[in-house]
Every structure is written in C-alpha cells, then in structure tokens.
Amino acid sequence: MLFTNRFLPVCSLVLATIFYTSATAQTISTQGKHFVDEHGAKIIFRGYNIQSKAPPLQPIQSANELDILQDMGANLIRLNFVWEAAEPEPGFYDPDYFDYYDRVIDWAWQRGMHVLIDFHNNAFSRYAAKGCGSGFPRWALSPDVLPVEPRTDGSCIFNSAMLQAMLSADNYTHWRDFMTDRHGVRTRFFELTRVLAEKYADHPAVIGFDLNEPMVFQPILQYDSALANVFFNDWQQFIMAIDPRYITFFGDSPFQFIFINQPPHLDIPPTGQVSFDAHFYEAGASSLGRPLFGTATSINAIVATREKYGIPVLVGEFGVNLKGRHNRDFQYQMDQVLRHFDREQLSSTRWNYTPHWNPVQKDHFHDEDFSCFDDQDQVRESCAPRASLQQLSGDLISIDIHHKGEAKLFIPLVPRLSDRLQYSDTRVDIRWKHQPEQGATRIFAARKRVFGGGTVTIETEGDDLHCRYDEDERYVQCTSAIAGEKRVVISGP
C-alpha cells in the first residue's frame, strides 16, 4: 500500500495519543424523553452549529474563537465533520483534518461545551447536486450519476438550484446506493465511524453521532422512510457495539417540520442510546428574508415526536437567513421560539456560527447568511443572549424566562405590534420538584451577557435552597439537601 506525506493509514489515527483536560468521561445518556447526566439530572442543551460546507474546511483556527460561544452560554456544539476533508481517497485519512478536529473538541471541552459529531452534508456532495451540495467525497458518489464540478461563485440560490438538486432523481440515487451499500460506500462510512468512535471513546466532551439530513426523496416528493430507518438502525447497532455510551441521533427530512408538521415515521431500536435530530426553519425566515408564519405548529409537531417515540429530541438546526431588512422581526420570532423550547425542555443548537464571517462572503456558502456573530464577534440581530435552564435536579413545574426588549407577542403579519408589547425587565423564574440525589440545578444567567453587568437579584423559595453565581458569574447554581418544591427568581434591569 502506498502513502503520500499528506495521508496516514487508519491505524496511525486509532493509536494516536489524545490529551484531555479531564481524565474521567462525564456520561450524558438518554432516559425516557430526556438527556441526563450520571446522577440522573436532566440536561437541556443550548448551543450552536459550527459549519464548514465549502473550503476552507477547518473554520476554527484558534481556541479563542470559541470564547464567544462560552460567553453566550453554549453547553453543546454540533460540530460538522466533513467526510470529503477527512477521507479524500478511500481508506486514507488526512492527518491535518483529524488534528484539527481533535483541537476543536479539546478547546470546546476546556470551555465546558459538549460535542455532537455531525457528519454533515447538503444534497450529498459538492460534486453532486449540480455542484451546489456539500459534505461527502467525490468517490462516494453513485457510479450511475456523472459527477460535476463544485460551483463556487455563490450562484446556488436555495429556493431554486439547491432545492431542485436536493429533490432530484440523481440525489435519490446517491442516497439509495449509499444506504444499501450497493458500491461499498456505506462500508467505508461505517469504518470511518469506527475510527472516530474508538478515538473519542474516553473523551468527556463527545456525546454521540449524527448524520445530517439524509435526502432520500423518491419521485413525487415521497420520503423513503423505510430505507432511512434500516440505515439508522444498522448504524446505531454498529456504534453501540463499539461503545454503548454514545447516543445515535436519527435524522429525517428537513421539510418534516416546515410543511408536514407531523411526527416522522421512525423505527426506534429496542436497546441503546437514541435521540432524534429535528430541524426547524420557518419558510420565510430561511429563504425569503422575512418571517411569514407562526412557529407553534412546527414546534408542537417536534414535541409530539418526542412524546410518540419516548426519546429525547434535539432541535439540531433552527435559525434565520439574515440577508433581508427584517432582522428585528426575526429577533421577535426567535425569542418566541426559544421561550417555547424552554417550556418544553427541548434541547437545541442554533444554526450557526461562522467564525470567519464577513459582509461579502457571509457564511461562505452560496446565499446563506445565518451566522449569529459578525467579523468583530458582535452578536447579530435575532441572536441576542438569553438565559437558559441547562441542568435540572428533579422535575420542572413551571418556567418563565424573558428579557428586556423581548416581544410578549409576535404575529408575523403584524410585526409592528411587537414594538409596542415588550418586556421591561429581564427575569428568570423557575419552579421545580427538587431531588437532592441528582445534584444541582444550573442556570445560565451571565451577569454581563444577560443582564448587561447591572445589579442582579436572586430570590429563593423552598427549604434549604441555596442559589448563587459561580466564580465567573455566568451560571447560577442551586443546591439543597432537602427534597420538595423549590423556586428561584433571578431578575435585573
């Protein structure tokens, strides 16, 4: 077997030494409809996607580029893993890309953030989908479809070229051949999964694996749920055999919670750690530059999916394309969405963080402009900092989190109504039935980011309840040795 100096064989990567900031893995698992830690406390993830759909495929260049996510209260990164960058030729892995991925995972964990390894793609590959896709290497394409050269001129507008490509017969051919291992490509994908699963088996940051948006659409927009279910079940069993602590995140059509708004058809395996990765983009917010519809119907369908299958759901993608003149309206919309997530204890990772965003290239992928932060690390409209409940010792009774300037009501067709109906203060009000054996309840309520550095008041109700800021004044932690109903109110200007 021949190697060039760019590539290393599998064994070199598997045997590589990895240095962690913690010697003991913090176990995040699934228990019924919730993510839980090793003590049984419920974990609610709040975080961001880090995307790299087009070269350069290593967007994080330094550790401090993750500081903004820590400051915003992220406890999870959905970190895009680009198969094209990792395995440019079958069986050969680029050590530079694996070193990059190691660094970002370590940097994330140093900042208290877990990592979901997201095998990301859009319409399979840059060499498919009329040159508008991303993710999988050229050699992974079905031999029944001619490859094309990637389009790098930004001309692949989502509403036209991208959408047509994702729903094309060629795209289904790629996915069908991949999922059925018709040409051995699935075997290579499983082998890559094995390398990563063994590599990070003891890393405290990594919680599991996700395959983004498998677009298995047959003609006339028929989603091939049967094909997708067989693939995900096989993948989950494969991952569980390597290390049962990993969570496998099932995926589905990205349109499920935009147009259909019903639980998808899932075949959940009887054993092992399983979650569902739901994606939600209100149609106007994702493509037309202004919000058009309400969001409750879509979110209720996501909640119904969790209830139907009895598994935790991560809203792995949601956000708005900030290319229009209505970004203030998007802020109202996103605040409403996140309040709904709070009430339902839905975990979420916002799309997205583009570390080297700029006003010309934006997200560096066609007409997308979703990044929550600009080139000066300033928070862009619709991404304002929010307090969040992230760890709950017991069962939630009620939660009310709102921020000064946040709209009490948002009606897309009458957006100016929100200008007149806004909260005048920032307030976190949480009631729960406390279980001491599960440890602390933890709330992101950063004095600087959430309250602007002003005076913060913490009031408590319940026997022996103690709530105070941590050393960095980012999180309020509540503890009690006595079970029963508790309440904390964190308020400020």
Answer yes or no: is 104 within a domain: yes
In the predicted model, what is the mean pLDDT of residues 60-65?
97
CA 276-278-281 angle, 5° bins: 175
Judgement on whether residues 105 and 178 belong to the same structural domain of the protein: yes
Least reliable range by pLDDT among 146-160, 198-212, 460-474: 146-160
| CA atoms of 432 and 52, how far apart (whole Å) | 40
Neighbour count for residue 437 (Cβ, 10 Å): 10
| CA atoms of 396 and 21, how far apart (whole Å) | 32
Alpha helices by DSSP H, listed for 313-451, are 327-344, 417-420
- Give the global pTM: 0.94
Q: Of 69, 7, 142, whose CA–CA distance to 354 is shortest?
A: 69
| CA atoms of 256 and 238, how far apart (whole Å) | 26
Strands in 394-402's sheet, in edge-to-edge order, are 394-402, 426-434, 484-492, 457-461
Model confidence band, residue 325 (pLDDT cutoffs 50, 70, 90)? confident
Give the three-state DSSP class for 133. coil
**Residue 25: pLDDT over 80:** no
pLDDT in tens, 472-489: 999 999 999 999 999 999
CATH of the domain at 57: 3.20.20.80
Model confidence band, residue 26 (pLDDT cutoffs 50, 70, 90)? low
Report the interhelical angle of 185-199 vs 225-242 (nearest 10°).
Answer: 40
Find all residues with CB under 8 Å of 38, minimum gap 6, and list them.
26, 27, 29
pLDDT of residue 341: 98
Strands in 34-36's sheet, in edge-to-edge order, are 29-31, 34-36, 42-43, 388-392, 441-444, 475-479, 466-469
Judgement on whether residues 250 and 369 belong to the same structural domain of the protein: yes
Judgement on whether residues 435 and 368 belong to the same structural domain of the protein: no
Judgement on whether residues 64 and 139 belong to the same structural domain of the protein: yes
User: Tokens standing for 376?
Assistant: 């000066």
Judgement on whether residues 190 and 310 belong to the same structural domain of the protein: yes
pLDDT in tens, 129-174: 888 889 999 999 999 999 999 987 767 876 667 777 778 899 999 9
Judgement on whether residues 164 and 104 belong to the same structural domain of the protein: yes
State the amino acid at position 206 in one-letter form. Answer: V
Our measurement of the distance from residue 432's CA atom to the centroid of its chain's CA atoms, rounded to an integer in Å, reads 26
In 177-312, DSSP assigns E strands to 206-211, 217-218, 222-223, 247-250, 273-280
Answer yes or no: is 401 within a domain: no
The parent domain of residue 422 ranges over 417-492
In the predicted model, what is the mean pLDDT of residues 291-295?
87
State the amino acid at position 266 in one-letter form. Answer: L
Model confidence band, residue 19 (pLDDT cutoffs 50, 70, 90)? very low
Answer yes or no: is 182 within a domain: yes
Answer yes or no: is 399 within a domain: no
In the predicted model, what is the mean pLDDT of residues 442-451?
98
Question: What is the rounded (10 degree) CA torsion for 446, 447, 448, 452?
Answer: 120
DSSP 447-487: TTTTTTT---EEEEESTT-EEEE-TTSSEEEEE-SS-EEEE
Our measurement of the distance from residue 95's CA atom to the centroid of its chain's CA atoms, rounded to an integer in Å, reads 25
Judgement on whether residues 357 and 426 belong to the same structural domain of the protein: no
Our measurement of the distance from residue 37's CA atom to the centroid of its chain's CA atoms, rounded to an integer in Å, reads 19
The residue out of 384, 408, 432 marking a domain boundary is: 384
The residue out of 342, 359, 384 marking a domain boundary is: 384
pLDDT of residue 312: 98
Strand 457-461, strand 42-43: pairing: unpaired
- Count of domains forming the chain: 2
How many Cα atoms occupy the beta-carbon half-sphere of 165 within 13 Å? Answer: 25
Judgement on whether residues 379 and 421 belong to the same structural domain of the protein: no
The residue out of 384, 403, 436 marking a domain boundary is: 384
pLDDT of residue 221: 81
Neighbour count for residue 110 (Cβ, 10 Å): 15
Judgement on whether residues 380 and 448 belong to the same structural domain of the protein: no
pLDDT of residue 413: 85
In the predicted model, what is the mean pLDDT of residues 218-229?
91
Q: Return the residue matching tokens 């580029």.
A: 65
Alpha helices by DSSP H, listed for 72-155, are 83-86, 95-110
**Residue 292: pLDDT over 60:** yes
| CA atoms of 176 and 263, how far apart (whole Å) | 23
Judgement on whether residues 49 and 122 belong to the same structural domain of the protein: yes
| CA atoms of 171 and 215, how far apart (whole Å) | 7
In the predicted model, what is the mean pLDDT of residues 318-341?
91
Judgement on whether residues 355 and 309 belong to the same structural domain of the protein: yes
In the predicted model, what is the mean pLDDT of residues 18-32?
63
What is the average pLDDT value for the chain, to the nearest integer? Answer: 91
In the predicted model, what is the mean pLDDT of residues 96-114?
98
Judgement on whether residues 439 and 340 belong to the same structural domain of the protein: no
Sign of the alpha-carbon torsion through 219, 225, 230, 234: positive
